[in-house]
Structure 1
Amino acid sequence: MSAEEERAASAEEKRVASTPEGRAAGAPEAGVPHLNAFTAFTGRWAVLRAALRISRRDAWRAKGRTALIMVMIGLPVLVITALITGRATTDVTPYEQLDSTLGSADARLITFPTRGRVRQDVAARSIGQHKASRPDRQWTPAELGTLLDGRLLRYQQKTGEVRLPDGYDWVDVLEVDLRDPMTRGMRELVEGRFPAAPGEVAVSPALTGRGARIGGTLPVTRDNRPMRVVGVVQNPNRPGSAELTALPEAVLGHQNDGDNSGWLADTPGSVRRADVRRLNQAGLAVQSRALIERLPDDGESPVPAMSGSPTRGAVSLGVAIVLVVMETVLLAGPAFAVGLRRRRRELAVLAAQGASGRQLKAVVLADGLVLGGAAALMGMVLGIGAGALIASVGAPLLNWTHGPLDVPWPEVLAVAALGVVSGVTAALVPAVQASRQSPAQVLAGRAAVDPPGRAARPLLGLVLVVLGTGGCFAAARHDDLAVVISAVVLALGLIVLMPWLVRSTGRLAGRLPLPLRLSVRDAARHRVRTSSAAGAVMGATMAAVVLGLVAASAFAQREAERTSVEPLGTLTIRTWASTTDGQWSRLRVEAERLLPGVPLVPGAVAVNAEGKEVRLQGDRHPLHCAGPTKCLPPRWDGGGILPVGDERLLTFLLERHDPRAEAALARGSAVVIGSGMAHDGVVQLVAESWEGGEDERLTLPAVVAKAAEPAQTGALIPASALEKAGFTVVERHLYAAHVPADEARLQRALNTVASGVNISVERRGDEDALTVLLVLLGAAMVLVLGGTFAATGLAAADMRQDLDTMSAVGAAPRVRRLVVAAQAAYLSGLGAAVGLAGGAVGGAALIRWNWETGIHPGGHPQVVEIPWLFLAGLVVGLPLLAALVAGTFTRTRPARARRVA
């Protein structure tokens, strides 16, 4: 058959196939849409399967790189999942607390001192009542039986004092007959048995670690009533609580004051809403098992939500997601680039065999999908286990609430999906590079470099930087979330600018020493790799700088606003005026025994004509004060109370002898420390009773003495002036220039002598600043070193031929080390310097917002503290550390080159 005849036959076949008869006969139909779509789908699925298979095999061959990428992607997933799981497990709902609060009872009745109508939510977590002026008669089981059918079991719950080997301490007390079947599940019997007689108690494991033991005697209350320990029991939802359990009224006496006391009820049927409303009307709060079991969200009581906009919450979540993905992508990006550099020959062979750029891109993106998916899955599993472990270990040690393992699967799966997205996103830039590489150049053994000229257009980055900077300072007067969003925009702008910064700094390489010149030029040739690593360092440094500036300024502001009568480092031991003279004498002797060699200076308190202790405070006149905190406003912790004493206490407070002030004190004049409270030679005081009542006002002559330190302010009141005003003065304070190693232990020991002893130590307001800054520095170090070492490893691999050539011509091994160290120093140094600039902007804006929304704006000048050592450690110390580690562990022997025929 000739060629003309073959072409004619082919045309006839196509014509017949396009007719209805031909389609009915099964002839192939060319150009049908659904067949083309199916063919395209099967082709893409085949490409994806092949790409996934190639990625899986490559990941198994390069185990070190695979582990590095999985750690960078999986670690955030693990941490976030652990926090979510731990929070859900320790957030115990009313449904999960049913056994520990009700046992097997159907309801729990909570009594009040009065019979007023009770308002409560379904789970009785929020209870309110209009109380009468005096208590009503106590409830009786017979009276309750008229309101609710069923068997009743008395319970009482409050706190009480017990005497342990190290002194008195307050513990929880539960009084109920745990042998009764109605209490099954309220407490778990760990050892021994439940109390069966009024003189028996069971203790929690937290008390066994402090000296209580089965068979021993435990004194309870201030009467030191001996109770025999017969068992160890544990609260299933509070395994770390210090608790006693006993029969009703064995420790507490009869309680009818609403402090979680009442009856457990075993009823013939369920306690319904109508029953709860009837009991509320009678003056009882009710926890109903049937109602709590039907609560939504596994028993979560429907309480009013906290103030806050749902939109704000969604925006905050979006910002957090952007930050996590951005930092993960920047950290893992160089590691994916490592894989691309090592596989570029393999990809070039695929391209030479006909693979398209899209197919090469699919192979590299499959790396992100495979490694990101595996890392997310592993991080999710390990995060759930870590969250459960943290909750189970932290509950007994830190007295957390604890329930059954609760995994919020929607949130956990969303975090895992975020890890997969981060992996694919991190592989996106290397995938684009793979699709654009020249197979001929790669197969010829020439290293690939980034195309020139692409970094010379920094317009987008400059626009984002300007918008972010302006937004930070514009939002500083309004909203902290807007400041954070603006800071994120600024960070994105700096990341976009990073290739241009790399190229610009690369032009300065000619003036540098040889090792640094080689490193900078190599980094400039591979801008994508360098920019990603430097961007990761920049993000970590910027976040650390922002938090460091805000934290340091907040601590400095607290220290600037700190006021105290006592000088820094003063230990104050206080007790009530109702303490007897004998108890006070024994307390002084015990304090001298516990603080050997520490001089104790006595102080006094005032008692009014009604026998009530009063606290002396400055009558604040803002116009006459040197500052908003210099007139010692009342504080809940006892601060602001003016001391009463003689010349010994005056010398202690001033830390020197002042003859003029001592003479004035002897004449009955108050000695004002600093000039904040004195006005026209007098000081005005308010004597306020701790137990309530009408305040008394005093005006005393005063002299001003120079304070021992800037934060010191207040006045020392002489006992003679108070006695002339009709008050009684008794010694009940001790002062010492000493900071005890364990304040709680000292207080428990002193409480064995007299009840109500309180100790305090005057400390700096910025005492914890160093710890916070060290934690921030450690977190930044992990991120900075991780990104730097990943990029430095890639740079060393790319520069291997140059380094081998240097060694071949006689360069010493230390030169190779210096080149690699310089590469690490350049990457981390550039990122840290840019991060410092961005962090300074964000930190200043947040500090400004914090002051604009403060309690006393414009009163005390805003303190901006710059932690120079912290910033030097970030910007100088971490790059030097990265250079030192990279140079120390680099290989100095040349690699054997492959012979090419």
Structure 2
Amino acid sequence: MTGLLERADAPPAAPAADPRPDRPSIWPRLRADLRLARRQSLRGWASSLLVVALIALPMTLVAGAIVFGMGHVATTEERIRAELGGADAWVSIVHGPDPSLTQYLDEPTWWDVAREEQTGELINEELPPHGSARPFLPAGAIEIGAGRVTAETAGGIGAMTAVIGDAAASVLRGRFELIEGRAPASDSEVVVSPGALERLGVGVGDRLELTEPVATYTVTGVLKRAEDPHAAEVVFLPGTPANRALQEDVSSTVWYLPEWSPTPDDVRALNREGMIVFDRDLFVAPGDMANPWASGDALALSMVWLIGAAAAFAGYLVVLLAGAAFSVSARRQQRALAVAASVGATRADVFRVVLLQGTVLGGVGGIVGSAAGIGLGILFLHLFDDGSTTAFQGVHVPWWGLAAVIAFAVIVGTIAAIAPARAATKGEVIAALRGSRRPARVRVDRPLWGVLLIAAGVGLTAVCALWLAAINAEEFVSGDDGRRTICIIGIILGPILLQVGVMLGGHWLISLLARPLSRLGLASRIASRDAAANPGRIVPAFAAIAACAFLAAASLGSIALVTKQAERGWTYAAPVGSVSVAGWMDDIDRQHLAVGTVVTGWQDDGAGASRGVYIDAEATARSLLESAGPGTLGTVWDAGTGRWDATGTLLNPDDILAFPRMEHIDAALAADQCKELEIADCRWHQSPWWNLGIVDATELEAVTGEELSTAELAAYRDGAALVLDPDYIRDDGTVAVAFSTQERLAKTEVAEAPTDVVSVAAIRRDQPQRQVSVLIAPELADSWGLRSGNWTVIATYDVPLTTAQVDSLQQEADTLSRTGEVGMWPHLESGPPDAAPWMWLAVGATAVLVIGASSVALGLARVERRPDDATLAAVGGTRRLRRGIALWQAAIVAGLGMVTGTVAGILPVWGVALASERIYNPPSFGDMPWLWLVVLALGLPAVIALVSWLVPPRDPDLTRRTAIA
């Protein structure tokens, strides 16, 4: 075999050019990391299911809220159908003719007229509105008006809304929905709403009896307006001239145009006549007359903000809890990750493997949650559908919103895996293969940052609160003072910093807590040390619990302060649960009327004056209340009422007035009020005449709701006064009653002193918020020459009145009111709103969240403690000891979170109370529900710890026991 050789003296050949190697692509490594992440997720399927469930549950609620909220936002077609049905346009009169009136074509009810910038007065002359829009519209317009009618109901007489016109016309289907039966075919037939059908106690084909106006109709069907719920009580009357007379106001009348589409110029012309127009085509394409802040957009934007805030809070909790789950899962993958590292995986690969598990599981949780949220949203749309289009426009699934939910879930899952992924890269490969772990150590910087933020949060809240108190103490403070805004922001920001500090210093706090707990017994020692050794799952758990407790404490405090404020400002017309019917008189000369006589009508005497028509209306009210079988019945009469004629002349100037004088009033408050009102004698001005009532001794129990002793009743009959407000009682046990006249009372610019003052023995009852503060017997009123005026009949019932009975009362009240001289109205005294349901709701919602967070943390602890349980059982640890460990673990996690969160939640409520000191009847920090807060902070963790003790630990697997390091 031959070949050519180079000459020895030949120059060496130039080496071949070595091209620069390409930078290795990240995608192969990323695909490998993703493959490992998927396999590790499937291998640890139990932990993966937990993480998916933690992510999917809040995503279900968020997606359901989006579907539910968008179900209340109408599409363009739905809005047009609800406004017009099959018509082309509608026209409504909203103002008098004005050349400056303009409207938006896509929001006709947003109209405006030109006004002066400084005074707000109209620039153009204000003219009366047109009586009808028909002269300005083409033929064929359907006029639909509104009014009121009174009808015989199933148990009495009741007032209802009347819609007047051909509402059942086929062209208006959609605007008015025919639910059952058929449209009226003549003027003797009507349709009614579902609520009216139930209230009237009739069916399709039955007779409808109207009492005002008097008429009889046949019910042919059930109809409702698109925006009305099924419970709305509406009678749809034919548009006869007699019925048109019932229309209350031209502004409540709408003209529908079946075949007329106006141009923008036509709309502007009608605007100048004081009318607005909704047109089908112009609503879709409004051009330059579009509303930049459409109500639908505003509604959608408000829902986005609300749902976004809820999603942010839910994401915060999921990051904490799912992070704890990832922490446990990453430690259980320690050996597998070490094997990957031993064959070439870098720390970046290990980081990505754990991180991508969060991404994958977050995406799965987002998809599952979105799918479940669609069903949940549709379910709640149907559950809360009351028949109104404002409550249920239709099922609108916003796919863009669900895509955002899935993306948010991916982000949440990825963020939750960051801390465990970082921890996974810090282990040594050989140690991980051997299965050993380094003990957890408290970092030096985190306790410092935690203490700093805790101190900053408490200090910021205290400084801002004290500064706000100093601002409130100033004599003149503007309501929009910027300093107050800064203080309020600081008071709210302080508790947030406090919670962040507790979370950053959480491991340090647990380590400090472990020292005293170690002295309480073996179980507490093991549990506290286990918590200190596993901050990755303990700190996120109690941080999530603290966030829930923060919201709960702030909610409980706010609810308590608002309801207590309402209670202090509530004026009771009667004892709670009773029914009162009050009556008053107007414009009559009653100087010769005896006590208890009531004028209920008047008639012309032929000489231009009027004379009273006297009947006992108070007796009528008593008979109505007696028909329902009351337990007790009583009447409170006032001590006279001033009467004026049409010219403003006082008709009874010499009538004597009596009023209790409050001598225990705040001097500074009295001086300020008297100076403002130019009142000379503050002592009796602070005690107006209506605080004195006249009640028969036999009816005191019904009026006050309390039973008096025989001695107290005897004293009352002999001339003592029953005082419900203790501030009227003087040091000697009497109440001062001052006398004046109607003429002197009318001189409010310079009030004169009372003509006489007498002392009356007082019988004390503490009901300071009653409308009448001092009660006297009729015999004492007669001896003083008092004339009774207005009255209130009070009845107590063992069983609340039915709707039919209230209908009967209301009908009689309407009848008397139409006479023009006496008005009556029934009132069920229910008292101020009860805070208990809202408090239970806040505690219940918090309990669900806290129990869920605790279950996750404690469940992870039990899973991770299985080798330790096996070791304890091997060296003689009893089941009771392991139960005790579970109890103390629950107490540490739930207790620490609930206490810190509750304390943080109290701080902003304190700030709000300070910020409100200058308003009338301000909320008081003393109204905080301390018992509820103690139950929240201590009782709920105790229950969780007890349940954890009751749940028996799993039998240890001794064959897989690990050695004690």
For 1:165, which of 154, 157, 165 is the aligned residue?
154
For 1:646, which of 695, 706, 709 is the aligned residue?
695
Deviations 1:625-661 (A, max 9, x none): 6898999x9xxxxx99757533346673495447777
Deviations 1:122-162 (A, max 9, x none): 23324678899997784374xx1xx3335312211345444
User: How far apart, in 1, do the equivalents of 2:334 and 2:289 lie?
Assistant: 54
Find the residue that maps to 1:890 and give its secondary structure.
coil
TM-score, L = length of structure 2: 0.75
Matches within 5 A, 1:24-39: 29-31=19-21, 35-36=22-23, 39=24
1:893 and 2:955 correspond:
yes
1:522 and 2:526 correspond:
no
Q: Which moved more, 1:548-557 or 1:105-114?
A: 105-114
Aligned-pair distance for 1:301?
7.5
User: How far apart, in 2, do the equivalents of 1:233 and 1:475 lie?
Assistant: 59
Matches within 5 A, 1:3-402: 16-18=16-18, 29-31=19-21, 35-36=22-23, 39-58=24-43, 61-62=45-46, 65-92=47-74, 96-111=78-93, 119=101, 121-122=103-104, 123-126=107-110, 138-139=131-132, 141=134, 144=135, 147-178=136-167, 180-210=169-199, 211-220=201-210, 222-223=212-213, 225-242=215-232, 243-249=234-240, 253-255=245-247, 257-268=249-260, 270-295=261-286, 302=293, 323-396=313-386, 401-402=391-392
Deviations 1:370-399 (A, max 9, x none): 222222223233334333332333131799
Corresponding position of 1:555:
563
1:839 and 2:830 correspond:
no
Structure 1: tracts of 5 or more residues without a match:
6-11, 19-28, 634-638, 688-693
Deviations 1:194-215 (A, max 9, x none): 1222222222333444434211
Q: Is the 8 A contact 2:618 2:793 kept in 1?
A: no
Corresponding position of 1:751:
810
Q: Which moved more, 1:712-721 or 1:93-102?
A: 712-721
Deviations 1:482-512 (A, max 9, x none): 5433332222111111111011112234302
Corresponding position of 1:760:
827
User: How far apart, in 1, do the equivalents of 2:558 and 2:402 lie?
Assistant: 31
Shift in alpha-carbon separation, 1:837–1:138, aligned structure 2, 3 A: closer
1:451 and 2:444 correspond:
no
Find the residue that maps to 1:90 and give its secondary structure.
coil
Q: Is the 8 A contact 1:113 1:257 kept in 2?
A: no
Shift in alpha-carbon separation, 1:440–1:542, aligned structure 2, 3 A: same
Find the residue that maps to 1:599 and give its secondary structure.
strand
Aligned-pair distance for 1:432?
1.6
User: How far apart, in 1, do the equivalents of 2:877 and 2:908 lie?
Assistant: 46
Shift in alpha-carbon separation, 1:17–1:137, aligned structure 2, 3 A: closer
User: How far apart, in 2, do the equivalents of 1:305 and 1:205 lie?
Assistant: 28
Shift in alpha-carbon separation, 1:663–1:84, aligned structure 2, 3 A: farther
Matched AA of 1:601: T
User: How far apart, in 2, do the equivalents of 1:423 and 1:97 lie?
Assistant: 39
Aligned-pair distance for 1:662?
5.9
Find the residue that maps to 2:144 and give its secondary structure.
strand
Find the residue that maps to 2:926 and give its secondary structure.
coil
Find the residue that maps to 2:851 and give its secondary structure.
helix
1:816 and 2:879 correspond:
no
Deviations 1:560-591 (A, max 9, x none): 34444655555422356586747765543332
Matched AA of 1:350: A
Q: Which moved more, 1:867-876 or 1:566-575?
A: 566-575
Matched AA of 1:507: R
Corresponding position of 2:452:
463
The CA RMSD measured in Å over matched residues stands at 4.9
Matches within 5 A, 1:635-714: 645-648=694-697, 652-653=703-704, 655=706, 656=708, 657=712, 673-675=725-727, 681-682=737-738, 705=762, 706-712=764-770, 714=772
Shift in alpha-carbon separation, 1:315–1:543, aligned structure 2, 3 A: same
Find the residue that maps to 1:83 and give its secondary structure.
helix
Q: Is the 8 A contact 2:578 2:797 kept in 1?
A: yes
Shift in alpha-carbon separation, 1:643–1:77, aligned structure 2, 3 A: farther
User: How far apart, in 1, do the equivalents of 2:14 and 2:27 lie?
Assistant: 25
User: How far apart, in 2, do the equivalents of 1:13 and 1:367 lie?
Assistant: 55
Matched AA of 1:589: S
User: How far apart, in 1, do the equivalents of 2:411 and 2:960 lie?
Assistant: 38
Identity %: 25
Shift in alpha-carbon separation, 1:676–1:900, aligned structure 2, 3 A: closer
Corresponding position of 1:777:
843
Matched AA of 1:560: R
Matched AA of 1:887: W
Shift in alpha-carbon separation, 1:112–1:353, aligned structure 2, 3 A: closer
Q: Is the 8 A contact 1:154 1:263 kept in 2?
A: yes
Shift in alpha-carbon separation, 1:92–1:647, aligned structure 2, 3 A: farther
Q: Is the 8 A contact 1:515 1:815 kept in 2?
A: yes
Deviations 1:204-260 (A, max 9, x none): 333444434211223335456333221122434434352333322475645372242
Corresponding position of 2:549:
541
Deviations 1:527-556 (A, max 9, x none): 221111111111211221222223223323
Q: Is the 8 A contact 2:103 2:276 kept in 1?
A: no
Find the residue that maps to 2:894 and give its secondary structure.
helix
Q: Which moved more, 1:422-431 or 1:156-165?
A: 156-165
Find the residue that maps to 1:97 and give its secondary structure.
helix
Aligned-pair distance for 1:822?
1.9
Matches within 5 A, 1:835-874: 835-849=901-915, 851-852=916-917, 855-856=919-920, 862-874=924-936
User: How far apart, in 1, do the equivalents of 2:238 and 2:561 lie?
Assistant: 54
Aligned-pair distance for 1:288?
2.6
Find the residue that maps to 2:959 and give its secondary structure.
coil
User: How far apart, in 2, do the equivalents of 1:472 and 1:867 lie?
Assistant: 20
Shift in alpha-carbon separation, 1:570–1:474, aligned structure 2, 3 A: farther
Q: Which moved more, 1:464-473 or 1:291-300?
A: 291-300
Matched AA of 1:590: L
Aligned-pair distance for 1:181?
4.3
Find the residue that maps to 1:68 and give its secondary structure.
helix
Corresponding position of 2:520:
512
User: How far apart, in 2, do the equivalents of 1:409 and 1:684 lie?
Assistant: 75
User: How far apart, in 1, do the equivalents of 2:417 and 2:856 lie?
Assistant: 15
Corresponding position of 1:601:
635
Find the residue that maps to 2:247 and give its secondary structure.
coil
Corresponding position of 2:622:
588
Corresponding position of 1:26:
none
For 2:424, which of 406, 410, 434 is the aligned residue?
434
What count of residue pairs does the alignment treat as equivalent?
Answer: 846
User: How far apart, in 1, do the equivalents of 2:550 and 2:97 lie?
Assistant: 60
Q: Is the 8 A contact 1:372 1:424 kept in 2?
A: yes
Find the residue that maps to 2:557 and give its secondary structure.
helix
TM-score, L = length of structure 1: 0.80
